[in-house]
Every structure is written in C-alpha cells, then in structure tokens.
Structure 1
Amino acid sequence: MGGEYWNRLDKSKISVIKTSEPKVIFGNPIGNIFHASDIGRMRILMKYGGIYLDADVFVVNPLNEFLKYEMSIGWPEGEYIGTQVIVANKNARFLKLWIESYKHYI
C-alpha cells in the first residue's frame, strides 16, 4: 500500500491486520460474504482488541470516552445490531457471546 494518506496512517498508531476470509464457523460453512466479514472482524477484535469502523463511517469526535468500557458498539435506534462501529477490549465478553450466537444463526 502506498500514497500520501497511507504514509500518514502508516506513521500513526493504526495497525492493519491482513487476514483471509473465514469460510467456516463452528463446523458450518459461511455462505454469505457479509456474515464472513462480520465474523472476521469480530475474531480480530477478540484476539487483539481495538476499534473497527466501516469504510463509510466518518469520525467527527474523539472515541476516547468509549475506551473505558469493555466494549461499545454503534447501534442506531430502531435498527438491528451491527458491526459498523465496534470499540472492544481483547477478549470482550459480549464479542464472545456474539460470535457464539452463530452456532444457532448460520
């Protein structure tokens, strides 16, 4: 990766973690790319902790206030829970439960 903006990010505290698309969860095939993406990001956050933002999310205020919690998510009123914005500690309990919910969902 390269370019002016990448070089700026590369000097910051941002870590890019490359991974392959998950194909299976709990012995079941993941047939939907959206579920695979959700599962992949949750697994990364379980392992490392951190902040995940979808590509169309623009941060206009600091996220520091959310770092004091084990996990925070963006959950717009009247919508289903989603993985568009996640701030999580490594091994966050809610993330573990969320991943385990795929035993009954996929």
Structure 2
Amino acid sequence: MPYFNLKFSNTDNELANFAKALALPVRIAIVRIIMANGNSVSKESLYSIPFNHETITKHLAELKRMGIIKAHGFRGSIKYGLDEQLFRQMADGFAMLFESLRTFEHDLQDC
C-alpha cells in the first residue's frame, strides 16, 4: 500500500510535528539549557550556545510560536520555560511508541 494512502492518527501527527520542531541541534541546546536552569531562563543565558544571537533569537521565537516554549515575566525581565504538560504528553507518546517497537522486535525474535 503506498504511503500517501495511509491515514495517520492525531497522536502520530503530533509526535511527528514535535520531533520535527526539535530536529535541530540548536533547538535541543535551547531546551537543555532551559531544563538545566529549573525551567526558567533569560534570553541572555541562551547566548552561551555557540551560534550568533540572531540565530538563537530566531529559534527561540519559533519554539515559542509552536507552543513548546512559554514566556513569562515583564518587559526587560522575561524568562522562558518549557510547556511541561506538552513535554509530558509527548514523552508519554514516544515511550508508548518505543515500547511497541520493543514488543514488535521481541515478537519477531520468537518467530
């Protein structure tokens, strides 16, 4: 059956979109720094990533647009944090996917 005829579930689409959103090393670095700083970090703290400031600002804005990162605080002291509920939901979705792959591999070994 050709792939273009497949219907994908909402969960599959959400997991794929989340993976695409984080598919760049600079975005993973942004997420890691936010996590390492108690889920609250200033933009200036993100400038330790070895990219120019414009690149970091662009990726930070894109992650915010996608709902992965939330901004809080007041002008001049804005902090960025991850949407913890979204990350939990996606982590659970990926865990279920990987567990089903393990089960599939185990079933194949039994054949």
Between Structure 1 and Structure 2, the one with more helix by share is 2
Shared fold per TM-score greater than 0.5: no
TM-score, with structure 1 as normaliser: 0.25
| Structure with more contact order per residue of length (Cα contacts < 8 Å, sep ≥ 6) | 1
Between Structure 1 and Structure 2, the one with more strand by share is 1
TM-score, with structure 2 as normaliser: 0.24
